[in-house]
Amino acid sequence: MRKYWILFILISFIAMFSCTDDTSAYLSQDKEDVNVDEVPVDTTKKDTLLPEGQLVPGMHLVKLMVQQGDSLVERRFKYFMPVTLSPDKPISLIFEFHGSYEFDGPDEIADPLANISEANFLCQKAIKENIVICYPAGSVEISNEADTSGAVNWAGDGYTKSLPFVDAMVKYFTQDNEPRVDPNRIYSTGQSSGAIFSFTLALHRSDVFAAITPRAGQSASVEPFPSRAVPVRVFAGEIDDIVQHSAVLTNMTKWAREIGGYFESDMQIDTARYEGYADVTIRSWRGGKADYEIYSLAGIGHGINAGKCLDDMWEFMNSHPLNYNPANLFVSTNIKEIDAQCNQTFEISFNYSEGAEISIDAPQSWNPRIEGKKLTLTAPLDYFGNIEREGTITFTVTSNQATANCEIPFYLNAPKTYFEVGDIYYNEKFEPVGVVCWVNNKNIREAKIINLQEVTTQGSYQTINFGDFGTNFITPDYDDGENNTLLHVQQNATLSKPLNNIQSGLIWAAQYEYKGVGGWYLPAFNELQAISGKLTLINEKLQEIGGESVVNTNKLDAYLSSTVTDASGTKCFHMMNFTSNMEVTQVRENTSYYRARAFKKVIIK
């Protein structure tokens, strides 16, 4: 094995910091240079033999022969060792994996190490913090055999091709040369393709890499499942059009859940600011098997200014060595509080530190049942009996005389004996199926609910409409939509070709069923008009339980009623426009357009 280094002619200058956008996980990336405590920039290309078994201060090129599959190939990297490096202190090693360098042909293959010098943004941190920086060169990947175009990156063999190269570099720094880096302080970072490769190392080399701080990259894979959960702090541009920010959030949540043992509800949100660069939203899961953090950069695309993130990158690395063993025990639940109705059942999943013992203190009148890592509770049926109506459920874990606990406050609501507009109406399984939109003032135990979903023609003159039930068939009642609907259903049964819920909005309402609850109808005109004054509250509650709002912002949107009158021998359909709070009519055999919601009468017995 031959080892080479670059002998530098030192020329002093002040280098302005720059970061070139990496516009794809497979697109070209320029390296960024900064002035490092007035350290001159390397401008030479001359190779000089390195001393055997010795790391040398400065920036050096190293070539290794690496077994990749059936072939022995030459792989290259540069490393920077500060003159001030102290072998008497722990020496950290940071791998900086570059993004992709595209080429159109073999004569255009770029060298990702060509512009790496002491002016690189990581070197200043290396000088101050006793760090060796390693800059590996990726492999040439041909994407089109016909024209031999491709890229220099880390994507080969599903991002696993360069794993033997990584192993060889780790050995170079931890075994083959002095001073040796601390095996507990080996870290990975990188941009784009290099970020994805950092995630790969967290899966395939979790026993080697203490922590990773990737930039503009993500990984949906959690395979092979790592023997150790590697801490991750990822930096992501919120307007990245290559690595979608939503994908970073989704897949980091997946890592937190499947590798870290967290629940999505364990995520904490904080904010920060990189002056002159970006506002930062920080999402974090901490205290479990590993810390996972997302630094979302507002207004930033795929090219992330690593220098702006550098302090937070190093702080995370430095605080998460391989032998980091937090004293705090961990216990968490997917449900953080319980606001219960009588006889409502809750399933609480919980996770806790491996090897610890867990005990659960739960209200006995709620019939607690434990199976695996799941606690099931059913609120008492009789609110007025000898029961616990409020308190806390406590999960306690113990290990080596240390303890940690997690508390869930619970509260049992008194049975409500009356309705109010905005109440959420539940089925027998306590799933929300509607919102109270009208209450009978003469008997507030009687109400009407509006459904969560609506049907619409998606604009004017569509094929779906009220339905043609015959030229002379009308239901002129302005108040009783339930009876109007029933009369139409009876009329429909007499037709030679009865209408279905696709052909008729009224039949849709009559046949509507949601989570096992039927008995709905198309409201009469006055029933629709009666909810207009409470529509803001009704819409808030609909949105709260995942329903669709009643449209009240478009003067062209009208809602069908079941009120159908005669207008000089032609049918007249009456509709409600909630934007203008006015009645809209169509005089014709059938409607041309509409929106529709279903109502249901409910009563507290």
Annotate 385-435 with DSSP letters as a single string.
Answer: SS---EEEEEEEEEETTEEEEEEEEEEEPPPP-S--TTPEEE-TTS-EEEE
What is the model's pLDDT at position 2? 39
Q: 580-585: long-range contacts at Cβ-Cβ below 8 A with a sequence spacing of 24 or more?
A: 580/555, 581/529, 581/532, 583/525, 583/529, 584/558
Average of per-residue pLDDT across 109-117: 92
Reported as a pLDDT band with limits 50, 70 and 90, residue 55 is very high
Contacts of 463 (CB under 8 A, 6+ apart): none
Residue 459, pLDDT > 90, answer no
What is the model's pLDDT at position 85? 96
Are 4-318 and 331-412 the same fold in CATH? no
Average of per-residue pLDDT across 427-447: 96
Least confident range from 18-22, 66-70, 335-339: namely 18-22
Residue 374, pLDDT > 50, answer yes
Cα dist from 431 to 51, 160, 225, 319, 514, whole Å: 72, 46, 36, 45, 10
Sheet holding 432-439, edge to edge: 424-426, 432-439, 446-451, 599-603
Reported as a pLDDT band with limits 50, 70 and 90, residue 357 is very high
Tell me the backbone φ, ψ of residue 142, rounded to 5 degrees.
Answer: -85, 120
Average of per-residue pLDDT across 221-246: 96
Q: Count Cα atoms within 13 angstroms, Cβ side, for 602.
A: 27
Place of tokens 């063999």: 157
Place of tokens 């003032």: 441
**pLDDT tens-place string over residues 269-300:** 999 999 999 999 999 999 889 999 999 999 99
Reported as a pLDDT band with limits 50, 70 and 90, residue 11 is very low
Cα dist from 133 to 90, 116, 172, 282, 399, whole Å: 14, 11, 13, 27, 38
Place of tokens 């799933």: 431
SS3 content of the chain, % helix, strand, coil (to 5): 20, 35, 45
Q: Which CATH class is domain 331-412?
A: mainly beta
How many angstroms separate the CA atoms of 539 and 232, rounded? 40
Cα dist from 329 to 223, 227, 230, 397, 400, whole Å: 26, 19, 17, 7, 10
More confident site: 363 or 12: 363
Max CA pair span of the chain: 106
* 420: Cα separation from own chain's centroid: 36
How many angstroms separate the CA atoms of 525 and 531, rounded? 11
What is the model's pLDDT at position 458? 54
Strand partners, 293: 233, 284
The domain segmentation of the chain, as residue ranges, is 4-318, 331-412, 433-603
Residue 354, pLDDT > 70, answer yes
Reported as a pLDDT band with limits 50, 70 and 90, residue 48 is low
**pLDDT tens-place string over residues 304-316:** 999 999 999 999 9
What is the model's pLDDT at position 47? 53
What is the model's pLDDT at position 317? 98
Place of tokens 């920086």: 133
Assign residue 69 a region: left if phi > 0, alpha if psi is -120 to 50, beta otherwise?
A: left
Select from 3.30.499.10, 3.40.50.1820, 1.10.3720.10, 3.30.930.10 the CATH code of 4-318: 3.40.50.1820
How many angstroms separate the CA atoms of 528 and 502, rounded? 22
How many angstroms separate the CA atoms of 568 and 196, rounded? 72
How many angstroms separate the CA atoms of 579 and 45, rounded? 73
Annotate 31-65 with DSSP letters as a single string.
Answer: --B--BTTBPEE----EEEPPTTB--SEEEEEEEE
Q: Pick from 37, 138, 44, 30: which is nearest to 82 by CA?
A: 37
The pTM for the full model equals 0.74
Percent of the chain whose predicted confidence (pLDDT) is above 90? 77
How many angstroms separate the CA atoms of 488 and 507, rounded? 8
Tokens standing for residue 116: 């790496």
Residue 529, pLDDT > 60, answer yes
β pairing state of 139-144 and 582-587? unpaired
Contact 421, 441 (CB under 8 A): no
Average of per-residue pLDDT across 369-376: 97
Residue 384: strand, helix, or coil:
coil
Tell me the backbone φ, ψ of residue 482, rounded to 5 degrees.
Answer: -60, -45
Tell me the backbone φ, ψ of residue 358, rounded to 5 degrees.
Answer: -125, 140
Q: What radius of gyration, in Å, describes the C-alpha atoms of the chain?
A: 33
Reported as a pLDDT band with limits 50, 70 and 90, residue 533 is very high
Average of per-residue pLDDT across 78-94: 96
Reported as a pLDDT band with limits 50, 70 and 90, residue 12 is very low
Least confident range from 366-370, 372-376, 400-404, 595-599: namely 400-404
Reported as a pLDDT band with limits 50, 70 and 90, residue 326 is low
Contact 127, 37 (CB under 8 A): yes
Q: Give the single-character DSSP code of 568.
A: T
What is the model's pLDDT at position 471? 84
For the chain, the average pLDDT equals: 89
Reported as a pLDDT band with limits 50, 70 and 90, residue 324 is confident
Residue 10, pLDDT > 80, answer no
Contact 291, 285 (CB under 8 A): yes
Reported as a pLDDT band with limits 50, 70 and 90, residue 552 is confident
Least confident range from 396-410, 446-460, 540-554: namely 446-460
Strand partners, 347: 376
Percent of the chain whose predicted confidence (pLDDT) is above 70? 90
**pLDDT tens-place string over residues 141-184:** 988 777 788 999 999 999 999 999 999 999 999 999 999 999 99
How many other β-carbons are positioned within 10 Å of the β-carbon of residue 87? 11
How many angstroms separate the CA atoms of 166 and 187, rounded? 12
Average of per-residue pLDDT across 177-195: 97
How many angstroms separate the CA atoms of 527 and 530, rounded? 5
Residue 550: strand, helix, or coil:
coil
Residue 119, pLDDT > 60, answer yes
